[in-house]
Amino acid sequence: MASTSRRSTSGSYGSGNVTGERFCECGLRVPLQVLNSIANPGRKYYACPIRQCGWFRWAGPSIQHSDIGDYSSCQLNSNLKTIERVKNLHTDIVYLKLLAFLQLVVSTVCVVLVIVLLFKL
């Protein structure tokens, strides 16, 4: 009968494991993966393969000079998106104010017509 042992790197890159393999808190071997997100394109990491224990570690140094540049460009991109959203919201507000004004005009005309019709009877 095989026993299952739980092994972990405890967040260190030199885990004392002779083979260099990493294991999550579930005791499963975790493969090296590559992230393809906007914020961290091409960054390597290890994570629990079944995502049960939530174990996660970045591969290599935590901050690199290229990461700082990527963060700045990502932050700039986020600021540009925010400015674009604000402009869109401003346009929407102007449009809604125009609709409210037109609704007021139409309501006023309807009330005047009703009053005129009542006086003619």
Tens-digit pLDDT profile for residues 29-82: 888 888 888 888 888 888 888 888 888 888 876 554 444 455 555 566 667 778
Determine the Cα–Cα distance for residues 8 and 26; give it in Å rounded to an integer. Answer: 9
pLDDT for 15: 43
Q: Could you give the 3-state DSSP secondary structure of residue 121?
A: coil
Residue 42 backbone phi and psi in degrees, to 5: 80, 5
20 — pLDDT class (breaks 50, 70, 90): low
Average pLDDT across the chain, whole number: 76
DSSP H helical ranges for the chain = 65-120
Determine the Cα–Cα distance for residues 6 and 26; give it in Å rounded to an integer. Answer: 6
For CA atoms 62, 65, 66, 69, give the dihedral sign.
positive
pLDDT for 76: 62
Determine the Cα–Cα distance for residues 33 and 55; give it in Å rounded to an integer. Answer: 13
pLDDT for 103: 97
